[in-house]
Amino acid sequence: MRYRAHPLLHLDLQRWRMRLTLALLFGGFAALSARAVYLQVWQSEFLTDQGEKRVQRIAPIPAYRGMITDRRGEPLAVSTPVETLWANPREANPSAAQIQSLAHILEKNPDHLRRLFADKSKAFVYIERLVEPPKASQAKALDIAGLHGKPAYRRYYPAGEVTAHVLGITNIEDQGQEGLELAFQSWLAGEPGAQRVVKDRPGNVVEILERIKAPKPGRDLALSLNQHIQYLAYRELSDAITRNQAKAGAVVVLDARTGEILALANSPSFNPNSRATFEAARLRNRAVTDTFEPGSTMKPLFVAAALDAGVANPETRIDTGPGWFVIGDKRITDTHPKGVMTLSDAVQVSSNVALAKIALEMRGEDYWRLLTRAGLGAQPKSGLPGEVGGRLRPSSSWRPIEKATMSFGHGLSLSLLQLARAYTAFANEGVMPGLTTLRRESAATGTRVMSPDTARQVLAMLERVTQDGGTAPMARVAGYRVAGKTGTAHKFVDGSYAGNRYISSFVGLAPASDPRLVVAVMIDEPNGKEYYGGLVAAPVFSRIMAGALRFMALPPDAPFDQGSAPPGATPVVPESV
């Protein structure tokens, strides 16, 4: 059986159509070939550059922050390598098990992590910053898409709260925020480097092409602190705060010759390694930023001004009468009336009446001038952030009652660091060296505060304060001669002096034959059985000074007998406040 082909299946294409079709096909291939040749030959550099821009990135290389050490090279602040974990939620779709495992590794709430990954409106979120390398490795081993790590450094402070107020802290970006970390930020920080890397689409670095700039590590910083003395000061201060149920306290230890700060401690303190302890009250460096009325610890400076002005000498006799006298409508009193006494006796028993009577006989500007030379009213320039200058009004504005009260430390204010520095003048025959938080190899240039004779005479008076009959026999150190002065001042609260709130203090020097160390102790609002400076602050001084003298191997200058040791039951003369 034969079938005829259907007419529609019989195509009789005209030759020109076939040729046109072939021409279009070959023309298209020719155009594509020409375009390819053009791009590969004449546009090669442009295309290569565009391709590299899509896969190559300039990645920062974090710089190692400089180490902080004490004067003997003991590390006080070091940077440790860590990793910051971040994620791109748009690329991430972790399972419930992965979320749970990540939360367990990072010790975080699983619901919080789940919300971070679920927010697809963001292409970058921090999962956890400054993670220890082992934990970061465990987290990345979970193979969660879109989870990445970035190298970083975290600051670590081996001594914790002991050195917290001096060193300060860094923020999460490793930038100084408080203390010497802030003051020496540019010195410690260094400069980050840069490198060119190839990243895949998820953002992982698959190849390091070149190092554009090497990171420049920060420089190390050697402090004047002696870590052993610092620990001793903090331990004894903390114990005194607890024992006396006090609000707070501070201690400063200075090398009297060089002006170096060997220790500076505050209580309460904080742990710079744990941000959970960061509270405003704990972060305050009270020895530097807080001012207080120093009370009787100012009497040696007043006596020095009187001696320099020729108004009195150590044997000048003053009649304190019944132990009180009146200026205007104000009454100045002594705790224990002593009648007629010499100026040396007045310092030993801390007589307000005796010094107030001398103050009325001398010009206020003589006292003001000495206080100004001793650094009161101006920042001490130790290098610590937040320094205050205190309050010292011009002598021209002093009324008679103010001249009198200024002689025993009321009507002016200063920081404990300023007070400790002023006492260095008694150790250096009238010259006060500049302060520093950095290690010095030699004595610093100083400022003359008083004459050499005056400094020696006042130092002798201060030594009597620690002997039997003085206000501070509890400040004595076995085997050493000690000189110093107690202070017990009513706190100035809401425009008036509080009757039962005190600042107890003691500032002293040793060995008195050739003073090398100055230790200042301040206890804020002791609420225990005692509040006198000779009973609250002086024992703290004794223990700190004894340990510091041993650490520095300074030779004894007194026999190891009962006369140089702190007394057992010897009565302490309460000081007038």
Mind listing the pLDDT tens digit for each residue in 224-270?
999 999 999 999 999 999 999 999 999 999 999 999 999 999 999 99
Share of the chain above pLDDT 90, in %: 57
Residues 187, 232, single domain; the answer is: no
Q: Tell me, yes or no, whether 1 lies in a domain.
A: no
Q: Is 296 a catalytic residue?
A: yes
Higher pLDDT, 434 or 1: 434
Model pLDDT, residue 274: 86
Counted domains in the chain: 2
Question: How many residues would you count in the chain?
Answer: 577
Q: CATH number for the domain including 72?
A: 3.90.1310.10
Contacts of 441 (CB under 8 A, 6+ apart): none
186 φ, ψ (degrees, to nearest 5): -65, -30
Residues 190, 254, single domain; the answer is: no
216: β partners = 191
Q: Tell me, yes or no, whether 557 lies in a domain.
A: no
Mind listing the pLDDT tens digit for each residue in 114-166?
888 888 888 788 888 888 889 888 988 888 888 888 888 889 999 999 999 99
Range of the domain at 538: 227-551
**Model pTM?**
0.84
Higher pLDDT, 497 or 429: 429
487 φ, ψ (degrees, to nearest 5): -145, 135
d(CA 516, CA 216): 40
Residues 268, 364, single domain; the answer is: yes
Residues 421, 540, single domain; the answer is: yes
DSSP 359-370: HHHS-HHHHHHH
Residues 256, 133, single domain; the answer is: no
- Select from 161, 196, 222 the last residue of a domain: 222
455 φ, ψ (degrees, to nearest 5): -60, -45
Q: Tell me, yes or no, whether 421 lies in a domain.
A: yes
Residues 148, 260, single domain; the answer is: no
What is the 3-state secondary structure of 88-125? Answer: CCCCCCCCHHHHHHHHHHHCCCHHHHHHHHHCCCCCCE
Apex 483 CA angle, 477 and 486, nearest 5:
95
Q: Tell me, yes or no, whether 52 lies in a domain.
A: no
Residues 211, 347, single domain; the answer is: no
Most confident of 12-26, 275-289, 533-547: 533-547
Return the residue matching tokens 């204010």. Answer: 413
Q: CATH number for the domain including 255?
A: 3.40.710.10
Model pLDDT, residue 49: 60
User: Please, what's the b/e burial string for 303-335 (b: 16 or more CB within 10 A of its CB; e: otherwise)?
Assistant: bbbbbbbebbebebebebeebebebeeeebebb
Token pair of 10 as six digits? 């019989």
pLDDT at 1 over 60: no
Model pLDDT, residue 5: 56
Residues 350, 418, single domain; the answer is: yes
Residues 368, 512, single domain; the answer is: yes
Q: Tell me, yes or no, whether 117 lies in a domain.
A: no
Residues 70, 179, single domain; the answer is: yes
Q: Tell me, yes or no, whether 539 lies in a domain.
A: yes
Which residue from 495, 507, 500, 512 is spatially nearest to 427, judged by alpha carbons? 512
Mind listing the pLDDT tens digit for each residue in 334-357?
887 889 999 999 999 999 999 999
Residues 190, 212, single domain; the answer is: yes
Which entry of 101, 238, 267, 296 is annotated as an active-site residue?
Answer: 296
Average pLDDT, the chain: 87
Residues 216, 261, single domain; the answer is: no
